[in-house]
Amino acid sequence: MAKKLPNLLFFGIDSLRRNHMSHYGYGRLTTPNITKYAEGGVTFENCFSPHIPTTPGYSNMMTGLDCFGTGVVGLSQKEIAAGVPVLAEMLRDLGYETTCVGFQGNAAGRGYDNYISFAGWGPDHDDGRAHKAENLNEVAIPELERLAKGDKPWMLFMRHMDPHSPYLPPAPFKDMFFQGDACDPNDNRMQKVYDFRPFGDYIKSWVPEGCTNPDYVIAQYDAAVAYMDNCIQHILEKLKELNLEEDTVVIFTSDHGETLYDHDCYFDHHGMYDCTLVVPLIIRWKGHLPEGKRYADYCQLKDVTPTLLELMGIDTGLKFDGRSLMSLVRGEEREAEPEFYITECTWMRKHGWRTPEWKLMVSLEPDFHFKPEIELYNLIKDPEELNNVAEENPEVVEMLKKRMYQWIEKREKETGRTAPIYTNFLRPEGPFKTSEEAYMGKYIGSVKDAVKLQKK
């Protein structure tokens, strides 16, 4: 009798900023349960989501392809390129039963046998807080129990939304990381957030009235992560109770990070800065992976699917742009990929090139933050990306542009399609002509408006 293939428990968390996880060295204890669980598996310390935001990030994660392979760079794109299967479809073809919690309708969320929704956005209780992870547990844990009773291997994918704005963790988490004055009248740092027309009213709709201190909002993000971590422990305990740990691969990752107050991008996840591009990647399979190992090698979300398939002993015969990380786990050589192409098509349409030393960003249309067309950062001297040195280093700009355009030409020839960043715009009628037009052309008025936009 053929050995049953392993199950897959997939935590595909939205907007989880890696350097705000205590597992990755953050000073606040935000992820103690994930850390404890990860001690029984492997952690990748430098995983990148090079194509942001949500839709391209999950598309890379679930196909093993880059943006040329998926054809996806835009937030609102509805379909991955024709003929490209996603992980759920690959496993379903092998006899898996697949369930998706909280991700129906996205291009990368197709192909599951079962879809389950949960209240995963704004405040949903009398306390005015968002109980996102508890709502997910209410549907995901019974589904885990149901899948465990079946005779098929299974995949359970869960899209936790707690780190995505609005950051409204319930008590007692909401007060755990902030003891200052959120409404200090002498602090005016939130005023520029409220004055930013596209997002200001949206953010004002869920922070406390009169909030002047961005540190309070950041503390709410951290508290939301800690609350989610606590709820995730319930799922991990259920997996253990069902005696499935040795039969189940468990993965934690995210589609992108979060900007918070950095780079004037205001508690969102746009801008190709590393706070948005760098994501967690943790994998555990009890008895099959080394314990407590951490790897500093660069990897990307396109490596997730090839890694899982090799770990699970599955050969689909498909060709991937990403490469399995199992060679690192085995202590073998894996050719590094230290520089790579990056894109964004959220509220700004840009692409660029990242090396260990340099980050180049090139705008393809004027953006609503009135940022310069060319941004260049020395990641060694300026890891926070605070000092744009493009004007002082024109030769570096040209060198990186050349490498980027050579890569684009190479991938266009290999895939037979135009670079998707050239064919997807921020609005159907085409590119914005000025930053002022972009600034006036986008407005999210409240949490309810954001919910409508997300559904759309």
* Tens of pLDDT, residues 369-388: 999 999 999 999 999 999 99
- Nearest partner of 258 among 428, 453, 16, judged by Cα: 16
Mark whether 405 and 301 lie in a shared domain.
no
pLDDT at 88 over 50: yes
Does a structural domain hold residue 310?
A: yes
Return the sign of the alpha-carbon dihedral for residues 211, 215, 217, 219: negative
Does a structural domain hold residue 334?
A: no
Tokens of 262: 């950095």
Who contacts 143 (Cβ-Cβ below 8 Å, separation ≥6)? 99, 101, 114, 116, 156
3-state SS, one letter per residue, for the chain: CCCCCCEEEEEEECCCCHHHCHHHCCCCCCCHHHHHHHCCCEEEEEEECCEECHHHHHHHHHHCCCHHHHCCCCCCCCCCCCCCCCHHHHHHCCCCEEEEECCCCCHHHCCCCEEECCCCCCCCCCCCCCCHHHHHHHHHHHHHHHHHHCCCCEEEEECCCCCCCCCCCCCCHHHCCCCCCCCCCCCCCCHHHHCCCCCHHHHHCCCCCCCCCHHHHHHHHHHHHHHHHHHHHHHHHHHHHCCCHHHEEEEEEECCCCCCCHHHCCCCCCCCCHHHHEEEEEEECCCCCCCCEEEEEEEEHHHHHHHHHHHCCCCCCCCCCCCCCHHHHCCCCCCCCCCEEEEEECCCEEEEEECCCEEEEEECCCCCCCCCCEEEEECCCCCCCCCCCCCCCHHHHHHHHHHHHHHHHHHHHHHCCCCHHHCCCCCCCCCCCCHHHHHHHCCCCCHHHHHHHHHC
When comparing pLDDT for 121 and 15, which is higher?
A: 15
- Nearest partner of 41 among 249, 298, 348, judged by Cα: 249
- As a whole number, mean pLDDT of residues 14-24 equals 98
Report the pLDDT value the prediction gives residue 448, as an integer from 0 to 100.
67
Mark whether 253 and 190 lie in a shared domain.
yes
265-308 tens-digit pLDDT: 999 999 999 999 999 999 999 999 999 999 999 999 999 999 99
Check whether the bond before 366 is cis (ω within 30° of 0).
no
Mark whether 311 and 366 lie in a shared domain.
no
When comparing pLDDT for 230 and 454, which is higher?
A: 230
pLDDT at 1 over 50: no
Report the pLDDT value the prediction gives residue 454, as an integer from 0 to 100.
58
We report the CATH number of the domain holding residue 370 as 3.30.1120.10
pLDDT at 120 over 90: no
Does a structural domain hold residue 2?
A: no
Task: Quickly state the pLDDT bin for 3 (edges 50, 70, 90).
Answer: low
Last-in-domain residue among 272, 302, 329: 329
Task: Quickly state the pLDDT bin for 445 (edges 50, 70, 90).
Answer: confident
Answer yes or no: are the C-beta atoms of 272 and 350 closer than 8 Å: yes
Residue in the block written with tokens 């937030």: 75
The β-bridge partners of 75 are none
CA–CA separation, 325 and 309 (whole Å):
11
Does a structural domain hold residue 1?
A: no
CA–CA separation, 304 and 86 (whole Å):
12
CA–CA separation, 237 and 249 (whole Å):
15
When comparing pLDDT for 443 and 330, which is higher?
A: 330
44-59 tens-digit pLDDT: 999 999 999 999 999 9
CA–CA separation, 411 and 425 (whole Å):
20
Mark whether 107 and 139 lie in a shared domain.
yes
Mark whether 291 and 375 lie in a shared domain.
no
Mark whether 285 and 367 lie in a shared domain.
no
Does a structural domain hold residue 69?
A: yes
Report the pLDDT value the prediction gives residue 442, as an integer from 0 to 100.
85
Last-in-domain residue among 329, 354, 379: 329
Last-in-domain residue among 298, 329, 360: 329
Mark whether 297 and 201 lie in a shared domain.
yes
Mark whether 281 and 355 lie in a shared domain.
no
- Quote the radius of gyration of the chain (alpha carbons, Å): 21
Answer yes or no: are the C-beta atoms of 406 and 340 closer than 8 Å: no
Mark whether 384 and 296 lie in a shared domain.
no
Other C-beta atoms lying within 10 Å of the C-beta of residue 291: 12
pLDDT at 446 over 90: no
Does a structural domain hold residue 335?
A: no
175-211 tens-digit pLDDT: 999 999 999 999 999 999 999 999 999 999 999 999 9
Report the pLDDT value the prediction gives residue 456, as an integer from 0 to 100.
55
- As a whole number, mean pLDDT of residues 242-271 equals 96
We report the CATH number of the domain holding residue 302 as 3.40.720.10
Mark whether 296 and 387 lie in a shared domain.
no
The β-bridge partners of 342 are 352
- As a whole number, mean pLDDT of residues 257-263 equals 96
Mean pLDDT of the chain: 95
Report the pLDDT value the prediction gives residue 453, as an integer from 0 to 100.
58
Mark whether 243 and 348 lie in a shared domain.
no
Q: Which of 103-107, 140-144, 234-238, 398-402 has the lowest mean pLDDT?
A: 103-107
Does a structural domain hold residue 172?
A: yes
Mark whether 86 and 195 lie in a shared domain.
yes
Tally of structural domains, the chain:
2
| Entry pTM | 0.96
Domain that holds residue 47: 7-329
